[in-house]
């Protein structure tokens, strides 16, 4: 049943991708409406599959690559849908969100059958803040990068993605999502530090992921300083947003897969 629900979500995300690409090619509003609805409907079986896994293994989606990436994808789609309620203009970002969701689900599925118990240090309430904000951080920086990508597309071909907001608005949304991801990253780091203090008596240990998260936070600080102090906007900021996304991906996934760290368990199967 869990598998059927998971594949239902994957199928809906795949259909949403087709609909959004059709919208990008034709500009028909019906295609974007269908794409948005398919992504929203996809969340239902996706949530059910995650809940069933939670019940089965007795812990949340934060141990093994399948659980982590699948939950990250769910949060990405949910955050994008929620954001469109506040800024309708970014509904068109579905053209980036749908394929990203589909690809991420594809990455997660190869470890679908892997089930592991969590380490004893996961017996902490800080876990939910630390991991929850890590997922929100990933979703928000992906959306910032989607805004930056849309800006670049519009810059090169002004007639492309006509239904997306103006270049100024896209630049503003990219800035807004970057600042929000800076906040979420900060909460993730602080919650992790307090969790470490609870478990080991020290809030900082220069663990590779800890350090990578700090470097990423500093890089985000740099990016925001370029915006605020040097008033960088447009193309330069779009590329800097991709740099920030690169650091985020390295911190959240690459280090856990490639470097021995206390965080290895969450990407088991990586």
Q: Which residues bind another protein (CB under 8 A)?
A: 58-59, 116-124, 166, 168-169, 171-172, 175-176, 179-180, 182-183, 186-187, 190, 193-194, 197-203, 206, 208, 211-212, 214-215, 218-219, 221-222, 225-231, 233, 259-260
Closer CB to another protein, 107 or 203, in the complex: 203
* Least CB distance to another protein at residue 37 (A): 28
Closer CB to another protein, 22 or 118, in the complex: 118
* Least CB distance to another protein at residue 184 (A): 9
* Least CB distance to another protein at residue 204 (A): 8
Closer CB to another protein, 81 or 187, in the complex: 187
* Residue 100 near residue 17, CB atoms below 8 Å: no
For the stretch 51-66, what's the b/e string if a residue is b when 16 or more beta carbons lie within 10 angstroms of its beta carbon?
Answer: eebeeebeebbbbbbb
Closer CB to another protein, 113 or 168, in the complex: 168
* Residue 69 near residue 107, CB atoms below 8 Å: yes
Residue in 46, 39, 117 with CA at minimum distance from that of residue 81: 39
* Least CB distance to another protein at residue 166 (A): 6
* Least CB distance to another protein at residue 44 (A): 27
Closer CB to another protein, 103 or 125, in the complex: 125
* Least CB distance to another protein at residue 26 (A): 25
Closer CB to another protein, 2 or 211, in the complex: 211
Separation between Cα atoms, residue 226 and residue 228, nearest integer Å: 6
Residue in 129, 63, 59 with CA at minimum distance from that of residue 266: 63
Task: Copy the structure tokens of residue 266.
Answer: 């969450």
* Helix 167-200 / helix 126-156 crossing angle, nearest 10 deg: 160
Task: Copy the structure tokens of residue 151.
Answer: 């800006």
Residue in 68, 246, 39 with CA at minimum distance from that of residue 142: 246
* Residue 253 near residue 261, CB atoms below 8 Å: no
Coil/strand/helix, residue 163: coil
């Amino acid at each position: 049943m869990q598998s059927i629900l998971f594949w239902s979500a994957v199928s809906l995300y795949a259909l949403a991708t087709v609909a959004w690409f059709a919208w990008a090619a034709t500009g028909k509003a019906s295609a974007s409406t269908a794409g948005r609805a398919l992504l929203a409907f996809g969340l239902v079986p996706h949530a059910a599959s995650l809940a069933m896994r939670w019940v089965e293994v007795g812990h949340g989606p934060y141990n093994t690559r399948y659980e982590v990436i699948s939950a990250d994808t769910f949060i990405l789609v949910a955050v994008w849908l929620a954001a469109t309620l506040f800024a309708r203009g970014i509904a068109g970002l579905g053209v980036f969100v749908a394929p990203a969701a589909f690809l991420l689900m594809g990455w997660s599925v190869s470890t679908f059958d892997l089930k592991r118990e969590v380490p004893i240090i996961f017996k902490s309430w800080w876990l939910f803040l630390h991991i929850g904000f890590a997922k929100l951080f990933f979703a928000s920086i992906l959306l910032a990068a989607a805004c930056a990508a849309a800006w670049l597309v519009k810059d090169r071909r002004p007639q492309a993605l006509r239904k997306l907001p103006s270049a100024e608005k896209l630049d503003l949304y990219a800035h807004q999502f970057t600042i929000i991801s800076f906040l979420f990253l900060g909460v993730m780091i602080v919650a992790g530090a307090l969790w470490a203090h609870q478990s080991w008596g020290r809030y900082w240990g220069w663990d590779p992921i800890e350090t990578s998260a700090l470097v990423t936070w500093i890089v985000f600080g740099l990016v925001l300083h370029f915006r605020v102090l040097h008033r960088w906007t447009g193309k330069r900021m779009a590329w800097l947003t991709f740099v920030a996304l690169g650091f985020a991906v390295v911190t959240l996934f690459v280090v856990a897969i490639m470097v021995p760290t206390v965080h290895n368990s969450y990407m088991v199967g990586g």
